[in-house]
Amino acid sequence: MALRVLADTAPRVRHGVLEFPVHHMRGGTSTGVVIWEPHAPTDVALREELLRHLMGVPLSGRDPTNRQTTGLGRGPATSNKAFFVRTEPAGDGVRLVSTLGQLASDHDGVDWAVGCGNMSAALPLWALDVGLIPWPAGTATIDIRNTNTGGVLTARVAGDGAGGLAVAEIPGVAGAFPAVDLFLHSPVGAKTGQLLPTGAATDVVAGTTVSCVDVAVPMVIARAADFGKTALEPVAELASDAPFLARLREIWVGAGLLMGLRRRDGQPMTAADLAVSETVPKVCIVGPPAGDGHIAVRYFTPQTVHGSMAVSGGCCLAAATLIPGTVAHAVARGVAAPGAAFTDVDVAIENPAGVLGTTIVARNTGAGPEIRSAAYRRSAQVLVQGYVPLYRASAALRAALAP
């Protein structure tokens, strides 16, 4: 059934215009498109052209005035995501294989460096919608391998007993929607292979003490007070503070060099690469909690301040609170210390949208924590499914997608 459904929604030419099938979806607090990868061009340049058309970003160069009125993307990085998905054999069944392309509203670049924990929540709902996995009467799980990071997560959805799916409410999203539980396995060293990529719990970068931690995503963690901040500021206030943002950029570039981050082609990222990166390293400033959480945060992706907290970054920050000597460990309040056996450690992260609940499965080895997995709950929805006309598709793209 799944293959027939997907084949029935292949690229087509209608009224002389090439049209491409997509699901426009929300996963957590991110939105973007999900694409059945066998329908897409194999050539990376043509694949990137396709995404520019779909999301309404400049086809070439940079345009700071672009409002994405010609596509499905909307402004911030959290609304400019595209997942290509296929399947592969795994055990007695199949698993999804996802590849994320991250776009920005004002230029033609596509960043393939990392995955997205929020948008990953959309993938099991997409798989259900197209028939790749059967609609669950009880609980259904599906594994998802991300090619950007090599990591594998397990998604879990549950039927509601009435033909639908169990729902959840999450910070940053108004209302209850299909619930998706996501479990990140072996998340340590997603990009660098190390929990502490620099080998130290703290480093001094551009005169500021930071912690560089790699769990699910490489991230630079700084104390908000070192910037005269509290990590409780409104997003708009931080986004308009040009001197603060300039200093933050200097820090993430310097920390990225220390971490030895690499481009998708395996070459070391240069300072110029890091300065324009839309995905790595993530950056956050942290402070003591103001409410019932364990730590407060303001998170950057890194070019823009996030309206809530990305779940991959949340897992990294939560793990960092368990590592003695890190900035996060020093600032957090009331986080339980892991014991000698693997146990669930809950870390509640206060962010602009509310509180992100995370669970880190860890144990204390005596030399620091050993982290086995991280889990979080998201919700997802299909915003629209159908065809997007590509009015300005190049001749090469038309030929690659010709029915």
pLDDT at 274: 97
CA–CA dist 54, 79 (Å, integer): 12
Return the domain boundaries, the chain: 2-185+381-401, 203-364
Residue 205 has pLDDT above 70, yes or no: yes
How far from chain centre, in Å, is Cα 110?
A: 14
Which tens digit of pLDDT belongs to each residue from 386-395? Answer: 999 999 999 9
CATH 3.90.1150.10 for the 2-185+381-401 domain, yes or no: no
pTM of the model: 0.76
CA distances from 39 to 1, 35, 150, 202, 291 (A): 17, 8, 22, 46, 48
CATH classification of 203-364, choosing from 1.20.120.140, 3.40.190.80, 3.10.310.10, 3.40.50.720?
Answer: 3.10.310.10
pLDDT tier, 149 (very low <50, low <70, confident <90, very high otherwise): confident
Strand locations in 271-331, DSSP E? 282-287, 295-300
CA–CA dist 165, 177 (Å, integer): 9
Q: Across the chain, what does the average pLDDT equal?
A: 94
User: Please, which residues have CB within 8 angstroms of residue 96's CB and are 6 or more apart in sequence?
Assistant: 85, 86, 87, 123, 124, 127, 132, 142, 143, 144, 145
Q: Do domains 2-185+381-401 and 203-364 have the same CATH topology?
A: yes
Residue 381 has pLDDT above 90, yes or no: yes
Residue 133 has pLDDT above 90, yes or no: no
CA–CA dist 51, 306 (Å, integer): 22
pLDDT at 234: 97
User: Please, which residues have CB within 8 angstroms of residue 44's CB and are 6 or more apart in sequence?
Assistant: none
pLDDT at 5: 65
**More confident site: 42 or 115:** 42
CA–CA dist 131, 133 (Å, integer): 5
CA–CA dist 315, 214 (Å, integer): 10
Query: What are the b/e assignments for 19-54, b being 16+ CB within 10 Å?
Result: bbbbbbbbbbbbbbbbbbbebbbeeeebbbbbbbbb
User: Please, which residues have CB within 8 angstroms of residue 162's CB and are 6 or more apart in sequence?
Assistant: none
Residue closest to 165 by CA, chosen among 199, 124, 119, 132: 124
**More confident site: 3 or 122:** 122
Strand locations in 255-322, DSSP E? 282-287, 295-300
Q: What is the mean pLDDT of residues 208-226?
A: 97
